[in-house]
Structures are given as C-alpha cells and as structure tokens.
Structure 1
Amino acid sequence: MEFHQELDARGLRCPLPILRCKKALSDVAAGEILKVTATDPGSVKDFQAFCKQTGHEMLAMAENADAPEKEFIFHIKKRAA
C-alpha cells in the first residue's frame, strides 16, 4: 500500500507509539497516509482505539511474523480538517 510518511515505533511501549503517531500525523496533510511499524502487542488495540477516538481512518493492519520480533504494521489515513 502506498503511503506518504513512515513512522518506526519498533521497540517502544505504550503510550509512546500512539504519542509518536499523533505527532507524525500533525506533519502530514489531510487525506495522506501514515505507515506505522510497531512491536508492542498492545499497539493493535491502542491504534484501533486511537483511530476511533480521533476520526483518523485505519486503512490496513497487518502482522509481520517473519521479523526477529513480531511487527504490527498500520496504515492510517489522516482525517479531513
């Protein structure tokens, strides 16, 4: 999937992936897509709740079990202003 900006949140634990995502989204235009890669298993529920609460759209969520530490990949579309 295409994206406009990428955030590497691997190795970070809650709440840092969400806080870094929020900051990264402030740097992209409305309608653009942010790709986030995280290793915290709690990030799955955290990002779902974050998108629901903020109005951003979760376009895709995937797991990469082949990485040394399981990775969770999210594509989030920034909501319109």
Structure 2
Amino acid sequence: MMAHRDIFLVIGVTFYLFVYNLLLQFENTLHYATLMLLFSPLLICWMVYTVLKHGKYNGKKLDKDEFGYQDKSKADLKMF
C-alpha cells in the first residue's frame, strides 16, 4: 500500500514541477508560476521525506563492504 502512495506522490510532484516550468515560458502566466514556486519546496521536502521513510530498497545487502555497485561485480572493482 505504501509503495503505491510513494509512486503517486513522486508522479504528482513531478507533474507539478513540469507545469511550473511550462508556466514560466509564457509572460501572462508568470504570476501563477511565482505562486507555484512558493509551494514547491514544501512539496519536494514532503516527497523526499515520504520516500525515505516509507520507500523500500530492493538491492543487494552490502554486509561488511563500505560501498557497493549494482552493475559491477566485486572482482571488477579495482583500487584507486
């Protein structure tokens, strides 16, 4: 249930920011874009908080490794 809420929230905030950018393109809609700019930090913080709190990580556990890469095996990584 929470995963669907996370996805819906991310899609909603992305659409909100897309509309904001679209309104910036036209001179007669700049006042709407300014109003949307006031609410965008709240929406982005709410989205980040929700994803971090309720999101699920489906990747490999790192165990004792300091960091890991999903696309490379441990043998392919070299010292730098």
Q: Shorter-chain TM-score category?
A: under 0.3
**Structure number with higher strand proportion:** 1
CA radius of gyration, larger in: 2
Relative to the length of structure 2, the TM-score reads 0.26
Q: Report which of the two has the higher share of helix.
A: 2
Structure-1-length-normalised TM-score = 0.26
